[in-house]
Structure 1
Amino acid sequence: MDFGFFLIPTITAFGVIGLLSSLRILWEYERGVVFRLGKLTRAKGPGIVFLVPYGIERMRKMDLRIIALDIAPQDTITKDNVSCTVNAVVYFRVVDPSKAVVEVEDYYFATSQIAQTTLRSVVGQSELDELLAQRERINEIVRRIIDMETDPWGIEVTSVEIKDIDLPKEMKRAMAKQAEAERERRGKVIAAEGEFQASRKLSAAAQVISQHPVALQLRFLQTVVEVAAENNSTTLFPIPVDLFAPFMEKATGVPRGGFPNQLGKDDAKELAAAAVESLGAGSDEVTAALEAGDVEQVLEGAKKALGLAAASGGEESAEADAAAEEAED
């Protein structure tokens, strides 16, 4: 009677302890690889998992979330014999928990070693220009190789990113000089293209002027007016008589070479008005003189607009000749 009194509570206690120890709770991102007497059964989870107590069944948890593996800087030599230091980061996750437990002892360490050797191998087979300009292609090649090597372990490599490429100081200086020379070359090409386009425009302008001589004369008169407007001092330009021929022809209707020695007041008025209007250099005084019919004032205004010397220019010339004769004596 006494033996049964102690046996029942003891069995009950062992049963409760065994039941509690056989319960496991797995999160959504976790899976449990269950072994029964050392033999793999299956992966369980997530949620509540019941195990046979007293060591008959054992479980190992596996995390299915993506893991970021930082690859230590690797000293490598590129295909064109340039030494550099490259480091990268690998993103992978466990897709088959059973293989990750059974096929490899430590899948994290094994994946890191595969990533290091693969990175050094791919960089060694690439030239420096490819490594700098085609980084996305290098990343994809490294990812594909690592994923193929770790697939038997139940590992999936999602992406590989090269973080930094460190070059020697001498190589950096050489690349800087090369970039500067390239910029100078582009600048010279752009300047040459600009000169070529300008020469084409000048050639077209020369053809237009050769077909229309009046255009050259108008350009000359415009230059005279601009110079007279910019400088405060008086500037004398020797202007050929033929320069006024187009304006005289326009004002009088007489063909070039058929002008009389003397022009009437009406002809002079029309000539001055045409010259001032063509040059766009008219002033209020000239406009008023045209309206009043004062021919002399109109001519004087036209001369001022063209930057010509006034009527006193003859006197100044005579004084200059006299001064020259005194200097010779």
Structure 2
Amino acid sequence: MTGLLLLSPLVLLLLALLAASIRILREYERGVVFTLGRFSGVKGPGLILLVPVLQQMVRVDQRTQVLDVPGQDVISRDNVSVRVSAVVYFRVVDAGHSVIQVENHVQATSELAQTTLRSVLGRHDLDSMLSERDKLNDDIQTILDAQTEAWGVKVANVELKHIDLGENMVRVMARQAEAERERRAKVINAEGEEQAAEKLLQAAQVLARQPEAMQLRYLSTLTTIGAQNSSTIVFPFPADLGSLLRTVRAPDAPPP
């Protein structure tokens, strides 16, 4: 009985050491193992056995993480103050570097994203921020990815979420848009006048080649005016209209 009592603490100790040495990592997890403080490799996923006391393991999640970059006050190249927020998608591709090279890769990526956002947007004017967002996203993503590579972090995508303008700037942009619409309307109207003038010039050239066509145009205009209203209209009567009528009348018609 006494032997069993002495054996029980030993069994409990062995069970405790066995439990401390067993780790189970999920498919998206990796374990960075240190032996006596020195890096000894990355293990996982599945069942991992560690030497109790001598080895320690740090879990690293390799799934894509979403980092919300808070709004940043940015002064554009044309001295317009805006507030910009963004979202960053990244994942750990080298678990060892993400633990050894940086203390907290999530916080480090967040701080770097904020400073990079202000730096990149500050080199562009407001119109570029509003119309070239895809290009700005690519520029920020390229810079972030290059700087986080040493941490074992891959920045997959960056998206600008909101670009907030002050009320004064909103009113200025509204007036600018209205002026632009008026300018386009005037340009379209001028182009229409130009095309109409070209057509009138072509018609005048055709009528100049055949003087009889001009006289027939007079008669057609008189008929149209007479059908539309009953007012008395003085219309210039060409002197050679009589000869024209004799020329164009039917051959079998009796003389006037």
TM-score, normalization: structure 1? 0.69
> Which ranges in structure 2 are unaligned for 5 or more consecutive residues?
none
- The 1:109/1:229 distance shift into structure 2, 3 A limit, reads same
1:276-298 residue CA offsets vs partner (Å, 9 max, x unmatched): xxxxxxxxxxxxxxxxxxxxxxx
Higher relative contact order (CA 8 A, sep 6+): 2
CA distance in 1, matches of 2:126, 2:181: 21
Structure holding more helix per residue = 1
4+ long deviations beyond 6 Å: none
SS in 2 for 1:32: strand
Q: Which amino acid aligns with 2:191?
A: E
1:77-131 residue CA offsets vs partner (Å, 9 max, x unmatched): 1222221111111111111111111222211111111111111122223222332
Moved more, 215-224 or 82-91: 215-224
SS in 1 for 2:39: strand
CA distance in 2, matches of 1:235, 1:202: 28
Moved more, 93-102 or 165-174: 165-174
CA distance in 1, matches of 2:248, 2:118: 86
Larger radius of gyration: 1
Alignment of 1:143-292 (within 5 A): 143-231=141-229, 233=230, 242-251=240-249, 266-268=252-254
Residue 29 of structure 2 is matched in structure 1 by 30
The one of 69, 88, 91 aligned to 1:93: 91
Aligned residues between the structures? 255
CA distance in 2, matches of 1:169, 1:191: 33
Residue 307 of structure 1 is matched in structure 2 by none
CA distance in 1, matches of 2:239, 2:139: 82
SS in 1 for 2:240: helix
CA distance in 2, matches of 1:47, 1:4: 38
SS in 2 for 1:126: coil
Correspondence 1:141 to 2:139:
yes
CA distance in 2, matches of 1:65, 1:32: 14
TM-score, normalization: structure 2? 0.87
SS in 2 for 1:19: helix
CA distance in 1, matches of 2:139, 2:116: 9
Percent identical residues: 47
Deviation at 1:62, TM superposition (A): 0.9
> Which ranges in structure 1 are unaligned for 5 or more consecutive residues?
254-265, 272-298, 300-329
CA contact (8 A) 1:228 1:235 kept: no
